[in-house]
Structure 1
Amino acid sequence: MRRVKPVTVDDAVACCPPLTSPDLSEANAEKMAAMFKALSDPIRLRLFSRVASHPEGEVCVCDIADVGVSQPTVSHHLRKLRESGLLVSERRGTWVFYRVPPEVMVAMSHMFA
């Protein structure tokens, strides 16, 4: 079992300042909009939640694919989550493992701080 480093505030990427900070840059607004757009789909939100809440910090696609849609549809939604930067993946043999980069959760929490 691979150990995941605990997330600290120092791990946060400077990409996404809190919404209460003045003057959100165009680049940051684009990045945040892409993240929210990806999470606006209920299937994507469920998949993201399953990955983010997994106790081992990462999960095989085979363990999260039962969300009521076909496997190609699950792959499509996971690709959208990867493209938005919310998930990263690693292929191991025939399976793909997904995880949420620690800086994503920290940045998202700071947006609403």
Structure 2
Amino acid sequence: MRETILFKALSDPIRLRLASLLAIAGEKCVCVLAQALDEPDFKISRHLGIMRSAGMVESRREGTWIYYKLAKPHNEIEESLQKCLKIHMKDHETIKQDLERLEVASCSIEPGLKKTNNPAIDQV
């Protein structure tokens, strides 16, 4: 049953937050999502990989960045779930904080600098 795989993928809090952000804000790259959730890129990539395997998200590569978006719903349950994430999760306190960080998140770093996901260091 496809729904079982979908709901199992959403059972992790980070994946639920990622799905909510993608439903609300649309397609985003891994580095921006990592900044929004205040988690390292590798951790976000791993969770997005699980979501992709479950058919929840689609990805595309643009240069060194990989962008993710919610996959098109295959049935009414998936369509309702995406609407629910978009409408209701934006009022959840954690998602509000994620959205605030998302507004200022950026993939651009100066050439030669390595991003650390630590704003105090990355701003230097």
Q: TM-score range by the shorter chain?
A: 0.5 to 0.7
SS in 2 for 1:98: strand
Aligned to 1:93: 63
| C-alpha deviation, 1:96, in angstroms | 0.6
Aligned to 2:115: none
Q: Please, which runs of 5 or more residues in structure 2 have no aligned partner?
A: 82-124
Structure with bigger helix share is 2
Q: 2:31 matched to 1:43? A: no
Give the distance between the partners of 1:109 and 1:45, measured in 2 at CA.
16
Aligned to 1:72: 42
Give the distance between the partners of 2:64 and 2:24, measured in 1 at CA.
23
Counterpart of 1:102, as a letter, is: K
Q: 2:63 matched to 1:103? A: no
Q: Please, which runs of 5 or more residues in structure 1 have no aligned partner?
A: 1-29
SS in 1 for 2:46: helix
Give the distance between the partners of 1:45 and 1:102, measured in 2 at CA.
17
SS in 1 for 2:67: strand
CA spacing shift, 1:47–1:107, aligned 2, 3 Å: same
In percent, how many aligned pairs have the same letter? 39
